[in-house]
Structure 1
């Protein structure tokens, strides 16, 4: 495949060049001697790395806790329409038995997946969290850290647990972090009211990310810095839900100024209502209602994820920060790839990396999504 005439983002700069794809990889930028290839004319368009969403509970009527393999594949197809080339289905805290069933289903889907955005692994949001800062997590299903349970999740998922969110004050958390890090599982801190000291201790043990920073956690206080103090001071990655509801634009700017843009990851935390009208929906075991695009628990005062999509997240980040596209897009591409330790193959358009590409028009609408060299979404009405 050849992508011609586009404004291609390489090394944080745009240049007019062609992109040559062979055997799922980007193999060069020179068309000399190439003939009889599939050609995409991207004149006037941006050729960008595909988006990576490391925290999503669903979209288009599909919930990751409730989905079967067919529905999960449909979710992958929906995400492809939003420029997503890779994502982590995020499992809400559920019963141990049901969690085992879910991770097994996702693991089997990963083995057989052919269409849409690629499932890169599983993000487990719980069940080892805080009761006080549970947010939309079902309180009665939050439990103490258990290596035995985590090991069972690993086995049932065919070793596809990529990340797990834990609360720093949860009983047994340090032992679990040590085990997870040794197994290559990325540990994130979230849904936590822990002290600054406990959070820094978990970071020293290897926790490397903060789940939906500023949301579902004790807030910053000059005498009790808590998880936010640890997040902003240390080198961990910080997730940010840039929907304009979870974070004020000034907080997004503050986070970037404090952390540096290379340590902030844009996520959706989307629920099954993403892409759909207001109404009543599910989030795992919870009943939720969406009013004016804002998802909340039916019973309670907590937000319940978002209706954000990744293409809209990019537009919001650019609007909130006034940063150019070549800077803003890092939060959705190379940053999550580095956090997941897959940046050797994904996250940018360097030669020999996977051809995970989104092509957007001048108004930042998704026109093509390409996953490992295969077109999985085409919105070009001319073709």
Structure 2
């Protein structure tokens, strides 16, 4: 199979060329038009978007359900919606939950044999009460390696990453995560600069939605934000220009470089739906003009989609840089080395965009799904 006469966007170069696909993977990528391939004249090919922090979309979510079967049903229904927005890989993301619910979610992901959902992101329960955001503080608890091992085993080893507050425990918890092959991410935290720096240097490789749900930056108390900018290998950003001002997003990219920025949506059940009343876990939220808030007025996730995040970032940087932030960096941040870029050997997860950067087609493992 060949996709030809298409503008191909890589982190290093944009050119008119051909993508050759075989066995669900990219076999060759080269300049020039081929006869007999699918002619995509006027279109652009970018790697499938990868969202490693998403709670829900289109009326389905991973934060509340009545059974393991419902959780799995939500996963499969949400996959269809994500694909329409160009997302070919996503990590279902939970919030702070009671132990039994957390284990049930992990059991459910363990039963999913679909590589577009290669694992789960646990956002909590080992977070700061002070910076819980919309999460339910009743279920916040101290880091517990034994509980995490139980979840890990229930998931059949598919916990990819966990967001935690490093001030809740010493470095032993990070070591426990690393021993299980879980990527630690610092977030929902009141950590000071010293504590956060130690966490990153000990192996935490990411910051969860920087600037949001964490100790704010102050010139005499730089906290986790400066520690993240200096030491975190990857940094999540919600680029809806609501959670973080547009100019601050641009400033962050300038300071850190595009190779460290991971675009995420932090999307919730209300995404792709009308304004109204919804829930995030056990918390009631209101969505008005696309902004999700708790009754106390705190932001509660977003209604951002990854194609919109792509367009927003494209207003700030070149497309070559944007594909790194929406595909390659998210993949690398959680060890998905087989995807995230248009190069030989990688999964043939490809999004075709028009000249307005709107999704026109999506290929998953080389098959057209949308």
Q: Do these two structures clear the TM 0.5 threshold for a shared fold by scoring above it?
A: yes
1:254-273 mapped onto 2 (5 Å cutoff): 254-273=251-270
Following TM superposition, by how much is the alpha carbon of 1:11 offset from its aligned partner in structure 2, in angstroms? 4.9
2:300 alignment partner in structure 1: 304
2:187 alignment partner in structure 1: 190
CA distance in 1, matches of 2:119, 2:267: 17
CA distance in 2, matches of 1:169, 1:29: 47
Following TM superposition, by how much is the alpha carbon of 1:30 offset from its aligned partner in structure 2, in angstroms? 6.4
Structure 1: gaps (5+ residues): 378-383
Question: Which segment is superposed worse, 2-11 or 276-285?
Answer: 2-11
CA distance in 2, matches of 1:258, 1:182: 32
Q: Identify which of 100, 104, 124 aligns with 1:97.
A: 100
The 3-state SS of whatever aligns with 2:188 is coil
Q: Identify which of 311, 318, 322 aligns with 2:314.
A: 318
Following TM superposition, by how much is the alpha carbon of 1:342 offset from its aligned partner in structure 2, in angstroms? 2.0
CA distance in 2, matches of 1:173, 1:360: 46
Equivalent residues of 1:268, 1:313 under 8 A apart: yes
Equivalent residues of 2:56, 2:62 under 8 A apart: yes
Following TM superposition, by how much is the alpha carbon of 1:70 offset from its aligned partner in structure 2, in angstroms? 1.9
1:28 alignment partner in structure 2: 28
1:139 alignment partner in structure 2: 137
Equivalent residues of 1:167, 1:173 under 8 A apart: no
Going from structure 1 to structure 2, the CA distance change for 1:369 and 1:176 (only over 3 Å counts) comes to same
CA distance in 1, matches of 2:223, 2:30: 52
Summarize deviations over 1:22-79 as a string: whole Å, max 9, x none.
10111114699x99x8x53211111111100010001000011235212210101100
TM norm structure 2: 0.95
Equivalent residues of 1:123, 1:162 under 8 A apart: yes
1:381 alignment partner in structure 2: none
Pair 1:350 & 2:339 matched: no
1:234-245 mapped onto 2 (5 Å cutoff): 234-245=231-242
Summarize deviations over 1:164-210 as a string: whole Å, max 9, x none.
0000111x342111011122110000011111111111112100111
1:277-296 mapped onto 2 (5 Å cutoff): 277-296=274-293
Question: Which segment is superposed worse, 364-373 or 74-83?
Answer: 364-373
Summarize deviations over 1:120-157 as a string: whole Å, max 9, x none.
21100000000111101101100000011100110111
CA distance in 2, matches of 1:341, 1:334: 11
CA distance in 1, matches of 2:276, 2:215: 30
CA distance in 2, matches of 1:177, 1:54: 19
Pair 1:78 & 2:75 matched: no
Going from structure 1 to structure 2, the CA distance change for 1:142 and 1:19 (only over 3 Å counts) comes to same
Deviating above 4 A after TM superposition, structure 1's stretches of 4 or more consecutive aligned residues are: none
CA distance in 1, matches of 2:30, 2:292: 47
Equivalent residues of 2:5, 2:40 under 8 A apart: yes
2:109 alignment partner in structure 1: 106
1:176 alignment partner in structure 2: 173
Following TM superposition, by how much is the alpha carbon of 1:18 offset from its aligned partner in structure 2, in angstroms? 1.2
Pair 1:8 & 2:12 matched: no
Structure 2: gaps (5+ residues): none
Going from structure 1 to structure 2, the CA distance change for 1:202 and 1:306 (only over 3 Å counts) comes to same
Going from structure 1 to structure 2, the CA distance change for 1:11 and 1:270 (only over 3 Å counts) comes to closer
CA distance in 2, matches of 1:182, 1:5: 46
The 3-state SS of whatever aligns with 1:333 is helix
CA distance in 2, matches of 1:30, 1:340: 28
CA distance in 2, matches of 1:23, 1:121: 23
1:150 alignment partner in structure 2: 148
Alignment: residue pair count: 364
